[in-house]
Amino acid sequence: MKVKVAETAGFCFGVKRAVDKVYQLIEEGTHPIYTLGPIIHNEEVVTDLAAKGVQVIEEKDLASLTEGTVVIRSHGVGKAIYQELKENHLNYVDVTCPFVLKIHRIVEKQSHAGKHVVIFGDPDHPEVKGICGWCQGSYTVLKGRKDTEEILEKVKENENKAMEQLSESERETLMSLTKKYVTCFKDVMLKG
């Protein structure tokens, strides 16, 4: 049997960029370094970083920090986290994936325009939580087909909608749900 490794095997662009930045901070002598959640879903890398002094913290831990550098991972965070970092005079390095940042800007703009933002994804996933944190008005997170069909019944009357698709969501399911969603409303923005 012949095994061939795909050209795109390994970390995605955003995660690779985030991991490389943490190693760069270590090399530069930055201390202490904290990451908001694990920098990557790879136990080997997280363990290696921990051995080099990098500590994984959660958002609730920010209030107790008085020094060091906080790394915002590629999943990104909500707007309030940036405000908290600034208010507490904490140094931070933002390695949010540029594609995720684009979603943050779209969500913020559309919610400021009075749109109700619909986000497909797991509401407990850090990337989805971060996106929700840029919504300035009403929003809905739909985890799957059942959630989507239930919400469609509730909001058919409202045409003022913006819709966001996460790249991690199943493409085939989203496409079928999106087609169904678009048929219900006249003013829908699709980004994916």
Query: Catalytic site residues?
Result: 127
Instruction: Give Dmax over CA atoms of the chain in angstroms.
Output: 58
Q: Which residues pair with 163 in a beta bridge?
A: 118, 190
DSSP per residue over 161-184, as a string? EEEE--TTS-HHHHHHHHHHHHTT
Distance CA 138, CA 10 (A): 37
Strand runs (DSSP E) across the chain, as ranges? 33-36, 54-57, 69-72, 91-94, 116-120, 139-142, 161-164, 190-191
User: What gap in Å lies between CA 106 and CA 100, rounded to an integer?
Assistant: 10
Which tokens in the block code for residue 150? 């239930």
Whole-number Å distance between alpha carbons of 125 and 159? 28
Give the torsion sign (CA, 142, 148, 151, 157). positive
